[in-house]
Amino acid sequence: MALRTGSRNPRAGAHRAPRPGPPLRVSVARKARDRDGKTGVFGVTLRSRPMLKRASVVIVIGALLAVGLVRGGGASAEPTVYQFLLDWEQGDYAAAAALTTGHPQAVVTELSSAYGNLDATDLVLSMGHITQDGDAALASFNASIDLGSSGLQWTYDGRFRLQESGSTWRVVWSPSVIVPQLRTGDRLAVVQEAYPRAALLASDGQPLSVPSSTYLIGVIPNHLRGGEVLTFAERLVAALQLPDLPPAQVAGQIRASLSNQFQELFTLTPAQFASLRSRLTGIPGIQVRHTRERLFDSIAPDVVGAVGTETASILREDGVPYRPGTTIGLSGLQQTFQSQLAGTPTTAVVIENAKGDEPYEPQVWQGLRGTPVRTTLDYDDQVAANSALADVHGSAAIVAVQADSGKVLAVSSHQAAGMPQLSPLGGEYQPGQSFTIVSGAALLATGRVLPTSKIGCSPSSQVNGHDFSNVPADPASLAANSTFGKDFSLHCSTAFTVLSEIPSFQLQLSTAAAEFGIGAQLQRPLAGYFSGTIGQEAGEARVAADAIGQGDVLVSPLAMALAAATVDTGRWHAPSLVTDSSSSPGVVAARETMSRQVLSELQSLMHGAVVHGSAAAANVGGTVYGQVGNAAFGGKGHLSISWFVGYQGGVAFAVVELVKSPSDAAASVAGAFLRNIRTGS
């Protein structure tokens, strides 16, 4: 692992090798502990080293000692080697130090602190070959160290010299006795370096995330004295309002860092930093760096989702130890493909010398770089949808799909001040008269209704004692001799409620809803989104309400975009959101729908609605097909949801906008979307 000592790369600054200083724990994929058997910082009771060794002491004496150990008939060095390794393994450092040539207290300190940064939970020493020549000997051994909850085990071969003085052998002391290449002033640590988070991509390979403001909260370690580190960490954790994050872990990362370089500790969004700024800037020694990263913002947040960093509470809820540079998907595709995008960090046991030179790495476990996830989103269509919603007055959303495949091309939403957010994929809304696309197909399928049939449109109608009226009440639509085609184009509710009493209509409506994918089982990663529902047999009035997208009918913008695509191609296609073969589910076969005659008639009705009817605001040139609708939002009556559902040029889409009174506002947004696609804006 090539540890960086220069400029900061995204998500990696916290994983550089530590400067010399007091021993501490730096591994993040593990549980902290103390050496007295007390509860560690994650509340896990761990055994002290003496307790561990009483439970299991492993010293392996090889048969290699039996022959040729001693030359010249002198005393054997083997008992000293054995006892030294046993005392060291059992944590009896004073006894081990007494068997060396070093200053006893210095040896005790070096032995007891050697693995302090490794979060070692167990140490096993196995004695190897010993060669002896006169009053000198060389002993080899194997060390095996469990590196805490990281699940890694570091195994290495060591050796040390012994010197005979009189009849007593002593280990010739040097820190290299503990680990080869370890020298006075050096220290061991476990260092992890995460790869930058992999990107979510549009279908053409462009990243969906965009560079945005990011605030890095950190410190230059040598600006703090040793005793100030924990105090700094405590104040920082308190300022960030992270009561479940042990400050000792933050202090550990500070001590483990290169002492004269900026050490990132937390990454904040602009909103987080703004709310915490006064608390943070009052902490002595704190450093704040403003940068831009592809992390928090994207052109398609409804699909991409949110990314959390070290401050995310879910990390501690899941028992993930603190590590600077951690990123976790909180929603959307960032959450669905967390493992694939984040990868795994490279972990190294390092030796850093007192001069702060490039650390030596006696052991490296290579991590895995995260791999990008390519989505079906069309970058230009997504930008076109975003632009269409930029200036709308109410909360609004757009979903666009490729009509002949079901690939999702754009997903966008806009929340207006004082209004609820609309969910383009998971929202459950009444579609109003835009649902006459489905009920119109059902009526045509009965064989008793033609586009030219004289149906008429009255201001009100009554079905089984239930009153219906046109919303909005458009005088131009009130014609007693109007045709079904005219009624459709002016989204006349009363005409559809009257026609719902045709005996075969209820069965045809259920069939048509299924053919249009209402209630279909969606697959990963869209499995959690809403494909719609429609009521079952519940009386004539309820069926009439369903016919005009009220009653028990609930849909999402995604579901209606797929319905429009069905009219365009004559087949319902299951939606897809990722194209990567390792991420996407198996292809779902397209579902045949209505007869060619019904399909042709329905297409004609939708084109007429745009050219001559209520959907005219979407008529921006070319051949546009669509239908508008209005329904009460949330059952509270003070807001309405305006719909446009349609298609052009192989792109099918649904637009919704919250309005204060029923209107055809969504048709204007649809027109803006189509113009943006054409002009590339």
Q: What is the distance between the alpha carbons of residues 424 and 303, in angstroms, rounded to a whole number?
A: 9
Asked if 167 and 300 count as a contact pair (C-beta separation under 8 A), the reply is: no
| pLDDT per residue as tens digits for the range 480-524 | 788 999 999 999 999 999 999 999 999 999 999 999 999 998 888
**Is position 8 within any domain?**
no
| pLDDT per residue as tens digits for the range 145-178 | 998 756 789 999 999 999 998 889 999 999 999 9
**Is position 5 within any domain?**
no
Q: What is the distance between the alpha carbons of residues 91 and 329, in angstroms, rounded to a whole number?
A: 42
Query: Could you tell me if 308 and 290 lie in one domain?
Result: yes
User: CB-based burial of residue 511 (10 Å sphere; 0-12 exposed, 13-18 middle, 19+ buried)?
Assistant: middle
Query: Could you tell me if 147 and 283 lie in one domain?
Result: no
Query: Could you tell me if 401 and 417 lie in one domain?
Result: yes
User: CB-based burial of residue 678 (10 Å sphere; 0-12 exposed, 13-18 middle, 19+ buried)?
Assistant: middle
* Statement: residue 93 has pLDDT above 50: yes
Asked if 155 and 141 count as a contact pair (C-beta separation under 8 A), the reply is: no
Query: Could you tell me if 635 and 588 lie in one domain?
Result: yes
* Statement: residue 668 has pLDDT above 70: yes
Average pLDDT over residues 439-463: 93
* Statement: residue 268 has pLDDT above 60: yes
**Is position 24 within any domain?**
no
Query: Could you tell me if 76 and 119 lie in one domain?
Result: yes
Q: What is the CATH number of the domain that holds 558?
A: 3.40.710.10
The residue segments making up the domain with residue 169 are: 49-184
Q: How many domains does the chain have?
A: 3
Q: List the one residue out of 93, 120, 117, 112 whose CA is nearest residue 20.
A: 117
* Statement: residue 7 has pLDDT above 50: no
> What does pTM read for this prediction?
0.80
Collapse the DSSP code of 145 into the 3-class scheme (helix H, G, I; strand E, B; otherwise coil) and give the result.
Answer: strand
- Which of residues 541 and 478 earns the better pLDDT score? 541
**Is position 28 within any domain?**
no
**Is position 1 within any domain?**
no
| Alpha helices by DSSP H, 41-135 | 49-55, 78-90, 93-97, 104-113
Task: Answer with the one of 373, 405, 425 that is the final residue of a domain.
Answer: 373
Task: Answer with the one of 184, 206, 238 that is the final residue of a domain.
Answer: 184
* Statement: residue 258 has pLDDT above 90: no
Task: Answer with the one of 184, 219, 235 that is the final residue of a domain.
Answer: 184
| pLDDT per residue as tens digits for the range 537-557 | 668 999 999 999 998 999 999
List all residues 6 or more positions away from 638 whose beta carbon is below 8 Å from its beta carbon.
660
Beta strands per DSSP E along 569-669: 571-572, 591-592, 625-632, 640-648, 651-659
Beta bridge partners of 140: 159
